[in-house]
Amino acid sequence: MSFTKLRELRDRFEQKWINGSFIFGYENEINENHNSDYPLLLVLPPTSELPATEGSSQEEYTFECLIVKPYYQNQLGSLDVVFSLLEQEALTWLQRVLDSYANKEVILSPDSISVEREKEMYNDKLIQVRLTFTLNAFSHNFTAIDDAVVSSLNPVVWLRSDMGVNTEFYGGNEVVKKWIDQSGNGNHFIQNTNINKPLYKYENTVNDYPYIEFDGTNNFMTCINNGVNNGVGLNSEHAIIWVAKSDEARGALLSKKFDATNTKRFSIQSSLSGSDYVWTVTHYDAQNDSLIAVDGDSTTTAALGYDLHNKGIHIFINQIEDGNDNESAWDVVSNYGTEKPLALGSNSATSITNGFDGQIQELIIINNDFSHERIQQIQKYLQHKYKI
C-alpha cells in the first residue's frame, strides 16, 4: 500500500491507536472533548504536504502528537511512572504504524523522536506527552524484541498492565473501567459498575511495572466477546500464560463458564492446600475434571502458564514444568462455547464468585495447541520484563 495520501495516513494512524480516543486535528479540540476515552491521542497535521504520488523524492514530514490522560491527585510521587507509560503507548502506536507497511519502507529519520512531558493542562487536570517525529517517506524498528516474540505467536488475548488500561477516578482511587486487548482481536475486558472496578496502581511495585489489583470481594471484569476466536469459543486446545500473585491465596484469576453445569468449563485459581499456597488449574468436560496444583507459592509474583492438548495438561512456573495430568475419560470437544464470556477475577461472568484477591500484570491466551518450548520462551520474556 502506497504512502501517498494524507487521508490514508490519517486513517492508518487512527486504526493503530487502540488504547482510547483518537483526534486528527488541533490542540483546542482536547479542551472541547471532556468525555474522551483516555488515553487520548491527538495528531496534528504534518508540517509538510504529502505528495500526490511517490515519485523519487523522499521529503521529510514532521508530525506532532499529544497523548493525554487525566491527572489524579493521588498520583503524586508516581508521575514519572505515569509519564513513562504514556510514552510507551505512544511509541508502541508509532511502531504499529510503521509495521503496517509490510511491503514499503517507511524510514523514521535519525534522531527524529522528541518527547516533552507536561502536566495540569487546559481547564482540566490533565497530563500529556508531546511526541514529535519525522518520517522520511519511504526501516527503523524500536520495538522491544520480547514484545515481537509474543506478537509473532498470534495471541487471541493479550492484556498488559503497562498498555491500554483505561481508568477513571472513583472513591479516592484510580480504577479500571476497560482493559484493552493488545492482540488486535478486540477481546477487551470491561467493568461498568464502579464498586466492581479493580484498582490501578503503579507505586511500591517490586518490578517497576503497574498492576491491576482485585480485592477478592467486589472486583471483577468480563470480556466484551463471548467467543474470543472470531466469534467461536476458546479452543479446546490452548495455552494460557500469566504474571500475577495472590494476597490472600484465594480466588479465581480467570474462568470460563465455571458457574455453569454440564458444560465444558475451566478456572485458574489461587488457593490454600494444606500449608502451601498454590495455583490450581481445573478443567471440566461436563462429566469429568482434571485438576493440577502447582507447588509454586501463589503469593509471590511469578510467570506461570499451561497448555491443554488432547486429554493432557501441563503447567509451568518460571520455565519449569511443575505438574501434569491426563484424564482418559474426557470427551474432547472443539471449544468452550459462547454462552458466557471469560471472567477475570471471578468464577462467574455476572457476579463475584470466589473472587480473586491479588494483583495481575499480564495475561496471554494462545488459541491453539502450543509447544512446551514456546511457553517457556514466553515465560523467559516475562521473567526478564518483570524482574522475576
pLDDT score of 142: 56
Cβ–Cβ < 8 Å for 271, 296? no
Check whether residue 259 and residue 201 sit in a common domain. Answer: yes
Query: Rounded to whole angstroms, how far apart are CA atoms 200 and 40?
Result: 18
Low-confidence ranges of the chain (pLDDT < 70): 1-6, 31-34, 49-59, 73-77, 102-112, 119-124, 137-146, 204, 293, 369
Check whether residue 94 and residue 158 sit in a common domain. Answer: no
Angle of helix 145-152 relative to helix 372-385, nearest 10 degrees? 150
Check whether residue 121 and residue 240 sit in a common domain. Answer: no
**Which DSSP category does 82 fall into?**
H
Of 117, 142, 167, at which residue does a domain stop? Answer: 142
Check whether residue 176 and residue 307 sit in a common domain. Answer: yes
Check whether residue 81 and residue 174 sit in a common domain. Answer: no
Domain of 370, CATH number, reads 2.60.120.200
The reply to whether 367 falls in a domain is yes
Alpha-carbon torsion angle 40, 196, 379, 291, nearest 10:
-150
Query: Rounded to whole angstroms, how far apart are CA atoms 214 and 236?
Result: 28
194 backbone φψ class: left, alpha, beta (φ>0; ψ -120 to 50): alpha
Check whether residue 154 and residue 29 sit in a common domain. Answer: no
Cβ–Cβ < 8 Å for 120, 71? yes
pLDDT score of 3: 44
- Pairing mode of beta strands 60-70, 126-136: antiparallel
The reply to whether 117 falls in a domain is yes
The tally of domains found in the chain comes to 2
End-to-end CA distance of the chain: 42
The reply to whether 299 falls in a domain is yes
Check whether residue 124 and residue 211 sit in a common domain. Answer: no
The reply to whether 190 falls in a domain is yes
Query: Rounded to whole angstroms, how far apart are CA atoms 270 and 294?
Result: 10
The reply to whether 1 falls in a domain is no
Check whether residue 115 and residue 226 sit in a common domain. Answer: no
The reply to whether 315 falls in a domain is yes
pLDDT score of 332: 75
Check whether residue 267 and residue 232 sit in a common domain. Answer: yes
Cell numbers at residue 273, please?
492446600
Check whether residue 226 and residue 157 sit in a common domain. Answer: yes
83 backbone φψ class: left, alpha, beta (φ>0; ψ -120 to 50): alpha
The reply to whether 222 falls in a domain is yes
Check whether residue 240 and residue 293 sit in a common domain. Answer: yes
Share in percent of the chain as helix, strand, coil (round to 5): 15, 40, 45
Cis amide leading into 155 (omega within 30): no
Q: Which residues contact 9 (CB under 8 A, 6 or more apart)?
A: 3, 50
Sign of CA dihedral 146, 149, 153, 154: positive
| Dihedral pair phi/psi, residue 377, rounded to 5° | -65, -45
pTM for the complete prediction?
0.86
Domain of 19, CATH number, reads 3.30.980
Of 89, 107, 142, at which residue does a domain stop? Answer: 142
The reply to whether 198 falls in a domain is yes
Residue 135 is part of which domain span?
6-142
7-55 tens-digit pLDDT: 777 888 999 999 999 999 888 877 666 678 889 999 998 877 665 555 5
Of 125, 142, 159, at which residue does a domain stop? Answer: 142
Check whether residue 88 and residue 159 sit in a common domain. Answer: no
